[in-house]
Structure 1
Amino acid sequence: MKYGEIAHFSHPQHTLRFEYIEVPFKCDGCKEVGIGSRYKCSYCDFDLHMHCALPSSSISHPFYPKCSFQFLTRPPGDVQRYCNACEKDVSGFVYHCNSCGFDLHPCCAKLPRVLDDGDMKLFLYRKVSASCHRCGRKGRSWSYRSTCKNYNLHVACAKEMLVESWHELYFGRGGRGRKLETRIPSLKGTLGNHHGSRSSKSKVKKCCEMAGMAVQFIISAVLGDPSAIIAGVIGSMISKA
């Protein structure tokens, strides 16, 4: 087997080769969208997140200290299950705690506790009392919050932005050949309700710039490769208008 190649139980026909791609892909393990690092079959339309290609048989998570999560290739039982991190359905690979019944997508289970590019830090919390910049709700799913505590985004909202912006990736026109920039979600219209109507233009602009960078980091992490944003794969999400 060549360097950078692996054999995987979910695709025994061929080996999978590591590659880095700058357009989104759908992981055939967890059935979620990915970007950046992946393992791909050169002969089939088959892709896996790094976390799905090289899973741990069991993991623990600081948010659930009493739980032991086991890696499963499909959600247990016949009832539809959802990820406790992002609140989205689980339909493929999953980490499941048998005693508590909690479930985590592989990429959600491996979300970094801190996203740091040197200028900005975002910390992952199980629950945040502050309102989300996108939906305005408190609580809900796991959230990333800035050090200054002025910016908060639910992991669930980050995924919803992806679904809304990338629906055509698999179900509409354009397909995989379109450039990434045309599918990047925009925050235009999502931040105004939570800045306060009396904020100065300069303050709003500064907040929007920070929020845009924060979303880039969060979405990159949710897609399974936090390094993607640092490498400049995901462009600006804020309209320059």
Structure 2
Amino acid sequence: MKYNEISHFSHQHKLKFEHTKFPFKCDGCHEVGIGSLYKCTTCDYDLHLHCALPATTISHPFYTKCSFQLLARPPGSIQRYCNACGKDVTGFVYHCKSCGFDLHPCCAKLPRMLDDGEVKLYLYRKVSVPCHRCGRTGRSWSYRSECKKYNLDVACVKDMLVESWHDYLCGGNNKEFRTRIPSLKGTLQTYHQKSKGKVQKCCEMAGLAVQFVASAVLGDPTTMIAGIIGSLMSK
């Protein structure tokens, strides 16, 4: 359930529900976001929906014996990482005390299936085929298409977004340039060098896959946000 205005334990001011077409850094989990958010109109403070309206305790089908509790910061003094994407955990986190697993709030809420009418993508904890982006196997959770032609690591999609938006998130002013997302075209051409038509079709379909996985990773797995992601992708 969404509310137009909320109070949040992490901030002294009221937060209002908004939409943005530009990337932001969530002040809760410290991960990148786009689309729906809760924002402080008094100061520069933004939260993903999953960080603004979190469940205090969750379970996850990939870890059936675990109970994850929301913490405002990682427990202990050692560096921790998310078991979904492999990235550092520095802010809000779902932590299982019994097994020590950690999940970013947005990673914990990744949809098990993404469907835009063209491509169906299913979330797996482990896959035995390499990622289209990095060529590695088992780096992180992955989205794999129903036809099994496209496999994208959640970690790789995060890399694409963070690398593309680093300067923007650090204060860059040229939004048109700094929000570009690299496409998979160059990578996928190595898979289909003999057929230009096949390259084009594969790139189109993989482009749709990237759009929807990126929107889910950014905390807003909706068709509208996937369309925005598509408009920001390099050709």
TM-score normalised according to structure 1 size: 0.91
Q: Which residue of 1 aligns with 2:56?
A: 57
> How far did 1:165 drift?
0.6
Contact 2:15/2:38 (<8 A) preserved: yes
Provide the secondary structure at the position in 2 that maps to 1:232. helix
Once the two structures are TM-superposed, the CA of residue 232 in structure 1 deviates from its matched residue by 2.3
Q: In the aligned structure 2, how far is the partner of 1:81 from the partner of 1:182?
A: 28
Q: Secondary structure of 2:210's partner?
A: helix
- Structure 2: how far apart are the matches of 1:48 and 1:76? 21
CA distance in 2, matches of 1:62, 1:127: 13
Match of 2:7 in 1: 7
Residues 20-72 of structure 1: per-residue CA shift (max 9 Å, x gap) = 11111110000000001000000100000000001111000000001000000
Secondary structure, counterpart of 1:71 in structure 2: strand
| Alignment check: 8 A CA contact 2:79 2:88 kept | yes
**Counterpart in the other structure of 2:93:** 94
Query: Deviations 1:161-201 (Å, cap 9, x if unpaired)?
Result: 012111111336326xx1388423332423233x144x311
TM-superposed deviation, 1:120: 1.4
What pairs with 1:65-80 in structure 2 (closer than 5 Å)? 65-80=64-79
Matches within 5 A, 1:74-223: 74-171=73-170, 173-174=172-173, 178-179=175-176, 182-193=179-190, 195-197=191-193, 199-223=194-218
What SS is found at the alignment partner of 1:220?
A: helix
CA contact (8 A) 1:72 1:95 kept: yes
Decide whether aligned partners of structure 1 residues 21 and 113 sit closer, same or farther in structure 2, where only a CA change above 3 A counts: same
The ranges of structure 1 where at least 4 consecutive aligned residues each deviate by more than 6 angstroms after the TM superposition are: none
Classify the secondary structure of the residue corresponding to 2:23: strand
Unaligned runs of 5+ residues in structure 2 are none
Shift in Å at residue 91 of structure 1? 0.1
CA contact (8 A) 1:209 1:238 kept: no
Is it true that 1:26 corresponds to 2:20 in the alignment?
Answer: no
Give ranges in structure 1 of 5+ residues lacking alignment. none
What secondary structure sits across from 2:144 in the alignment? strand
Q: 2:64 is paired with a residue of what secondary structure?
A: strand
Compared with structure 1, are the counterparts of its residues 150 and 88 closer, same or farther at alpha carbon in structure 2 (3 Å cutoff)? same
User: For 1:97-132, what per-residue CA distance to the aligned partner results, in whole angstroms no more than 9, with x for missing partners?
Assistant: 011100000000000000011221100000111110
In 2, distance between residues paired with 1:208 and 1:164?
Answer: 21
Name the Cα RMSD after superposition. 1.7
Aligned residues: 232
What one-letter code is carried by the residue in structure 1 that aligns with 2:198?
K
Amino acid paired to 2:154 = V
CA contact (8 A) 2:120 2:145 kept: yes
Give 2:220's aligned residue. Answer: 225
CA distance in 2, matches of 1:181, 1:188: 19
